[in-house]
Structure 1
Amino acid sequence: MRLFGRKGEEEEPVEPADRIAGFWQWWEATRPELDAMVAAEEAERLSERLAPAVAAVHPGLVYEVAPGRNAIHALVVTAAGDAELRSLAHRWAKAAPEPDMLWEFHPSRQANPQALELTLSVGGFEFSLDKLMFGLRVPPGTIRVDVAAYHPIFGELDEETRLEATLLALDWLLGEDDVARWVGEITPATFQPIDSVPAVHLPAVVADVASGYEDEQWALLEGQTASGAPLIATARYPLRPVDYPLYDQLITITLPYAHRDENGLPVGDSLTALRDFEERLAARLTKPHAEAVLAAHLSAESTRVIHVYADPTGDAAIHAKELIVSWEQGEPRVDVSADPAWTAVAPFLS
């Protein structure tokens, strides 16, 4: 049995932590009733009870009752690709009670080992994954697999329904988070792509691509500022918010430097000082309770800007403010803000 919530438009002016706590209090009080509905397969009544409770956490969240991986059932409450809500969904799951034989809880749709045995009704037609075919391509210089999906019923469906069915199938095959990590362009097709393969092969292709990025890597990039000045940036690669779902706090460290070349880029003692600062910063971020990641830094016009993303319940912002006291080349600054979609580093996301 699967149940899908609907996205809403307005957020209630209550602190997220309070909304999450309210949900789990409601769950504990209502669970005997919910268990009885699930056992009786009363999907409509279950939806009537779950929908307003999930919407009270945030009306943009989507819920689903699905087969569990270890428990009989899984309650999934997901941001459904909305980067602004991903951390909220993960905090909802983090606050969940311990799973038991009947229920487990997830902040994203999980891969289903029996995905190829599943069939559901789509637009009045049977959508079985064992008949789904994929044209797969990894464009040069990218870390994502472009997918062209074909199913015999797609010619009978409108474009939006084809896409919804494809997205659901990808979530079943890979899990929602791995779709966000490794799948690029998604194109539902009404004709079978040349060199297409059965859907069963998709996880192996994605695993092969992912195997090349198991170790930490960094990309060196060059560009220009808005005023046309040369800019050099270094960014973690791949850089994706889905890998750090609770890190929705942006810590921006601004360091002016004294020694620069004709293009305003750091040289000599300034370059050495910046490297030393980042080494000490990285050491601080690996300490217990820091819960943060150095995402990228940019140097231009005699200033380096360092972007760190952190769990706001951790100590990363405190560490950053303590560390800049030692900076001697101009007046350093630390700015802290909420940035769940990682908009500050959008050009570097991969």
Structure 2
Amino acid sequence: MRLFGRRDEPAPDPAGGITEFWAWWAQARPDLDAMVAAGEAERLAEWIGPAVLVVHPSLVWEIAPGLAAGQALVVTSAGDPELRPVAHRWAAAAPPADASWEFHPSRKANPHAMDLTLDVGGYEFALDKLVLGLRVPHGRPRVDVVAHHPIFTLLDDETRTEAALLALDWLLGEDDVARWVGDISAAAYQPIDAVPAVHLPGVVADLASGYRDEQWALLEGETPSGARLIATARYPLRPVDHPLFDQHIAITLPYAHRDAEGLPEGSSLEALRDFEERLAGRISRMDGRAVLAAHMSADGQRVLHVYADPVSEAAAHAKELVVSWEEGRPRVDVAADPGWIAVSPFLT
């Protein structure tokens, strides 16, 4: 498995770069197949690297064994939420997989991970010798991992951490690492409660089983001015579950009836619930192209945070719905937010 990327260069337009990449791929495919057949890995890198660079200079790519095809071309954001939509749009524009090539926007779990060995710093890094200390903090939908391998005593912190991260991607797949793994550290010495790495997928599957149904969390806080704030957010809330939803739609609804702390009550509370139900109805008819992530109420207004695929009509639906709002002047603000920064306090 070969891993390539990144360069700190000005980013091109991803949409144009994606189109250019696949046009190049169609022309270069016979030569690329010949390089694979001849085992010319370095030459393959010289061809594919510049083509991926055109999509975005900070994407990481690698060629890995395919799940069904002979090999997979993986172009990934390597955990960068700002780049995840670019990688997924690249994969969505790919030609159909065939016997030779398949295409993925993130590393997939390798079913033969425990048989893998690679060179790390001149030492053999065999996954069957990797052990993990695992801890699930109370109330958190994540497992914290402390990784140890016999060669870690011979490596610097950065190198062993990179090796541990790659091993987790092989064991779980990159997306499930983003979903379910919390703090990650690579230790020079074995944790007291360490278990063989082969058990990690089972632990994660058990954790994930508790979050199959839709759940919401109710949170309280204060605004910068000290006013009470009530928020409701999906739980868990993670951009990795909606990789193409990089358009943020903030719907601000002022309400007329509020209590002494500025929170909605009476007919205003009923009107807000009715609006949210109508919004949810619109979203449900959009073929999974938008999601209501959270809403917050404070100081006489509620802000609903919707994330959507920009090619959807979610923003148009929001602007149509607010026309019917009668308690003050509503507002709809639309902006690109691939990292879900607007709801970052609620991300889990």
Query: Does the TM-score normalized on the shorter chain lie above 0.5?
Result: yes
**Cα deviation per residue 1:19-61 (whole Å; 9 max; x = unaligned)?**
1010000000001111111111111101100110001100000
- Residues 85-100 of structure 1 aligned to structure 2 (within 5 Å): 85-100=83-98
**Cα deviation per residue 1:188-237 (whole Å; 9 max; x = unaligned)?**
11111112110110000000000000000000000000000000000000
2:139 maps to amino acid: G
Match of 2:188 in 1: 190
- Residues 9-88 of structure 1 aligned to structure 2 (within 5 Å): 9-13=8-12, 15-88=13-86
1:89 maps to amino acid: A
- Residues 1-16 of structure 1 aligned to structure 2 (within 5 Å): 2-13=1-12, 15-16=13-14
Gaps of 5+ in 1: none
Gaps of 5+ in 2: none
Match of 1:202 in 2: 200
Match of 2:133 in 1: 135
1:235 maps to amino acid: A
SS in structure 2 of the partner of residue 74 of structure 1 = strand
Question: Which 4+ residue blocks in structure 1 deviate beyond 6 angstroms?
Answer: none
Deviation of 1:80 after TM superposition, in Å, equals 0.3
Are 1:320 and 2:281 counterparts? no
Q: Partners in 2 of 1:260 and 1:10 — Cα distance?
A: 51
- What is the TM-score when the length of structure 2 is the normalising length? 0.99
1:251 maps to amino acid: I
Match of 2:211 in 1: 213
- RMSD (Å), alpha carbons: 0.8
- Residues 169-248 of structure 1 aligned to structure 2 (within 5 Å): 169-248=167-246
Q: Partners in 1 of 2:15 and 2:204 — Cα distance?
A: 35
- Residues 294-305 of structure 1 aligned to structure 2 (within 5 Å): 294-305=292-303
Q: Partners in 2 of 1:6 and 1:174 — Cα distance?
A: 22
SS in structure 2 of the partner of residue 245 of structure 1 = coil
**Cα deviation per residue 1:266-299 (whole Å; 9 max; x = unaligned)?**
0000000000000000000011357100000000
Q: Partners in 2 of 1:176 and 1:290 — Cα distance?
A: 22
Q: Number of matched residues?
A: 348
Deviation of 1:12 after TM superposition, in Å, equals 3.9
Q: Is the 8 A contact 1:290 1:316 kept in 2?
A: no
- What is the TM-score when the length of structure 1 is the normalising length? 0.98
Q: Is the 8 A contact 1:292 1:311 kept in 2?
A: yes
Q: Partners in 2 of 1:316 and 1:261 — Cα distance?
A: 32
Match of 1:282 in 2: 280
SS in structure 2 of the partner of residue 8 of structure 1 = coil
Q: Is the 8 A contact 1:290 1:314 kept in 2?
A: no
Match of 2:262 in 1: 264
